[in-house]
Every structure is written in C-alpha cells, then in structure tokens.
C-alpha cells in the first residue's frame, strides 16, 4: 500500500510538470533568431504554414552527423497537424526555404541570405552568380519583412498580435491565414520584385507539387544557396538540398551528398494488359514506375503505378502496370530516397 501511494504522488507531480512545460512553451509566440531558416508551405486560396527549422550551421552539422541526410520530421515539423491539418493533402503545394544572417557571425558576413531554388534535373543546380548590390538589398529587405527583423510587418509582428496556442502560433510554427494579412507576411514577397528588376532565371525559387503528387510516389527537390552580401570574391555557395516526398516527409542533405543511383531497366514483358518492368536496385533506395503515351510530356507529368514504391534490396526488382490498354506506352523507373 505504501508503495502505491508513493507511485501515485510521483505520477501526480510528473503530470503537473508536463502541464507546466506545455504552458511555458506555448505562452510565447513565434521566435526567429538571426541565421535561422524558415520552411514555408502554401497553397492557392489557403494559409501559409511557416516553420522555423533552426540555424543553418546546426542543420548542416546534424545532417553530417546523420551520414549526409537528416529527416526534418520531429524538428517542429509535424505532417498531421501542420501540413494535412491546414491543406488536407500535399497536392498543388508550393514550398521554399529562406533565412537571413543579419549580423556577421563567424565566417558568415552580415546580411547573408539563404534561399532555395527548384531543382529540375538529376543533380544539383549550378550555383547562381554573386548576388550583390541592388539584388542583394532586395533579398535582404524581403526576408527582413517576413521574419520581422526591425520591420513593421512579418512573422513576429503577426505572431505577437495573435494568441499563442499549441498548433498555429508556437515558438517554432506559425500558420498565417489568408484573410487580413498583407503579402509581406508570407514568402510570396521573395520573388522577382525582391531582385530589383534582376529576377533569377529558371528554375523558379518556389518548388511546387503536382495535382496528383500524393499518389505518385515520387519526390521534388530544392537546392539551398547562400547569397553573400559582402564577400564579392566568390560565387554564391551551394549548401545542400531539401527533398519533399509524396508522404509529406522532408529531409535535408548537405552539399556533396550523393543523389540516388541511376536505374538500369533489364527487361520489359507484356501479357494482355499487364506490363512487368524489371530493373537493378540498390539497398536503401526506393523505386517508382512511371509511364506515358506522349514522349513530349515533361517527366513530372508522367503517370505512376507504384503505390507504394518498391524498396530496393540490391537484387533485381519488378514493378507491374496492369492498366496497359493503350496501343503503346513508354516506361521509366525513378530512383529516390
């Protein structure tokens, strides 16, 4: 009996401690520290979900410690409450990552901007040229407006003007509604206007998912660049890339991390309306089958039959299309993590 009483008291104080911890976290609104990165998701006609994923230096260190790639899930990024709770699904989403080192820190110059661009090929984009002068000032001003560093608009002022809670106005997450909010409160200000008439060439800054992304079993990638305002002696630095998958998970890979190995299709057989594609696999890599009847279509518009994707084991893998009713179909196998 005495033991039960002691355990009961211990449990009581543990629950009380957790409750107080929750109050201490959610009593403060969104907090941005110089050098942090913001992950922004948006959809036309919906809210912006903006998540502070931490300092760029810490992110790179954590990815290196994890072997080159780390998952963002669990680092204040919650698929269920933030992404699906706001947008319903991951189709037709736009996302970008941005940040600002406003004051010099270590080897990073003052007013250095971090910004992603959509990756369109199998390898990382070539780094853009140095961003200096009016273009850099435009970028700094745009990010300043969003994160609220000395500006009248931005995440912090919006957050401070609204009640803190456990879902959409925490120390690390803010969900900004569409109504009654100026454009400066969202990442949409980081566009051609921020470059003072010198808009970057394709690929675009924001990355977007397709209308069927949630069922395609694929992924989209954005490269992260460091734009140095004061260096002027080196090209813009490629820091790594973010991979967003159709299940809502996102990872960060440091520069130099290997992309998934290319895939070799070894055979294709057809029986009635069933086509079986065999290919070489690598352990730890996922594979999805895509097809089209029109080779002029971009690869992102091909249809996938791989739900879920095939998990590679190092031996031959097979994926099957049971809907091959066309006179001709063209197939490819995409490798992805």
pLDDT in tens, 218-255: 888 898 988 876 554 555 778 889 999 888 889 999 87
CA–CA gap between residue 210 and residue 18 (Å, rounded): 41
Task: Tell me the mean pLDDT in the region 271-293.
Answer: 86
Statement to judge: residues 205 and 58 lie in one domain = yes
- Number of structural domains, the chain? 2
Segment holding 16, helix H or strand E:
helix 2-26
Local confidence band at 186 (pLDDT 50, 70, 90 cut-offs): low
For residue 122, the model assigns a pLDDT of: 62
The beta strands (E) that lie in the chain are given as: 36-42, 48-55, 69-71, 94-101, 112-118, 173-176, 207-208, 219-227, 237-245, 250-254, 265-271, 274-280, 286-292, 303-304, 310-311, 316-321, 330-336
Q: What is the per-residue pLDDT across 61-120, written as a single tens digit (0 to 9) for each? A: 888 877 788 888 665 667 777 888 889 999 999 898 999 888 888 778 888 889 888 886
Statement to judge: residues 237 and 278 lie in one domain = no
Residue 299 included in any domain: yes
State percent of the chain over pLDDT 90. 12
Task: Tell me the mean pLDDT in the region 276-289.
Answer: 84
The beta strands (E) that lie in 68-177 are given as: 69-71, 94-101, 112-118, 173-176
Phi, psi of 147 (to 5 degrees): -85, -10
Query: Whole-model pTM above 0.85?
Result: no
Q: What is the per-residue pLDDT across 303-326, written as a single tens digit (0 to 9) for each? A: 877 666 788 888 899 999 998 888
Statement to judge: residues 55 and 177 lie in one domain = yes
Domain final position from 206, 221, 254 = 254
Statement to judge: residues 315 and 215 lie in one domain = no
- Contact by Cβ (8 Å): 274, 329: no
Statement to judge: residues 159 and 308 lie in one domain = no
Q: String of b and e for 118-144 (b: at least 16 CB within 10 Å)? A: bbbeeebbebbebbeeebbbbbbbbbb
Task: Tell me the mean pLDDT in the region 199-223.
Answer: 78
For residue 75, the model assigns a pLDDT of: 54
pLDDT at 210 exceeding the cut of 50: yes
Statement to judge: residues 286 and 178 lie in one domain = no
pLDDT higher at 77 or 264: 264
For residue 307, the model assigns a pLDDT of: 62
Residue 259 included in any domain: no
Statement to judge: residues 81 and 144 lie in one domain = yes
For residue 267, the model assigns a pLDDT of: 92
Residue 47 included in any domain: yes
For residue 189, the model assigns a pLDDT of: 59
Task: Tell me the mean pLDDT in the region 40-61.
Answer: 86
Q: What is the per-residue pLDDT across 15-36, written as a single tens digit (0 to 9) for each? A: 333 333 333 344 478 888 889 9
Statement to judge: residues 89 and 201 lie in one domain = yes
Q: What is the per-residue pLDDT across 148-162, written as a single tens digit (0 to 9) for each? A: 776 666 788 788 888
Tell me the pLDDT of the chain averaged across its residues.
75
Statement to judge: residues 273 and 212 lie in one domain = no
Domain final position from 219, 254, 289 = 254
Statement to judge: residues 242 and 141 lie in one domain = yes
For residue 150, the model assigns a pLDDT of: 63
For residue 10, the model assigns a pLDDT of: 28
Residue 8 included in any domain: no
Statement to judge: residues 247 and 143 lie in one domain = yes
Domain final position from 204, 228, 254 = 254
Statement to judge: residues 241 and 273 lie in one domain = no
Domain residues for 126?
27-254
């Amino acid at each position: 009996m005495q033991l039960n009483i002691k355990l009961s008291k211990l449990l009581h104080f543990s629950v009380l401690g957790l409750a107080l911890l929750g109050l201490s976290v959610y009593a403060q609104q969104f907090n941005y520290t110089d050098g942090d990165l913001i992950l922004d998701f948006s959809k036309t006609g919906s809210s912006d979900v903006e998540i502070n994923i931490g300092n760029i230096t810490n992110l790179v260190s954590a990815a290196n410690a994890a072997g080159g790639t780390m998952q963002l899930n669990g680092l204040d990024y919650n698929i269920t409450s933030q992404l699906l709770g706001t947008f319903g699904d991951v189709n037709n989403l736009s996302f970008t990552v941005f940040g600002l080192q406003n004051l010099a820190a270590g080897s990073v110059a003052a007013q250095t901007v971090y910004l992603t661009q959509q990756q369109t090929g199998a390898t990382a984009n070539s780094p853009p040229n140095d961003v200096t002068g009016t273009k850099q000032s435009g970028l700094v001003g745009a990010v300043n407006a969003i994160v609220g560093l000395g500006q009248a608009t931005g995440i912090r002022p919006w957050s401070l003007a609204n009640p803190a809670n456990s879902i959409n106005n925490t120390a690390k997450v803010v969900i900004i509604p569409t109504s009654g909010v100026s454009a400066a409160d969202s990442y949409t200000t980081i566009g051609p206007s921020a470059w003072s008439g010198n808009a970057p060439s394709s690929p675009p800054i924001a990355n977007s998912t397709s209308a069927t992304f949630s069922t395609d079993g694929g992924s989209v990638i954005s490269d992260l660049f460091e734009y140095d305002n004061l260096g002027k002696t080196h090209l813009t630095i490629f820091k790594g890339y973010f991979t967003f998958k159709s299940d809502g998970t996102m990872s960060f890979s440091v520069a130099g991390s290997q992309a998934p190995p290319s895939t070799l299709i070894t055979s294709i057989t057809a029986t009635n309306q069933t086509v079986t594609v065999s290919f070489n696999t690598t352990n730890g890599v996922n594979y999805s089958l895509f097809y089209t009847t029109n080779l002029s279509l971009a690869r992102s518009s091909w249809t996938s039959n791989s739900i879920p994707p095939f998990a590679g084991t190092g031996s031959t893998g097979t994926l099957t299309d049971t809907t091959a009713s066309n006179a001709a179909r063209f197939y490819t196998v995409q490798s992805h993590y």
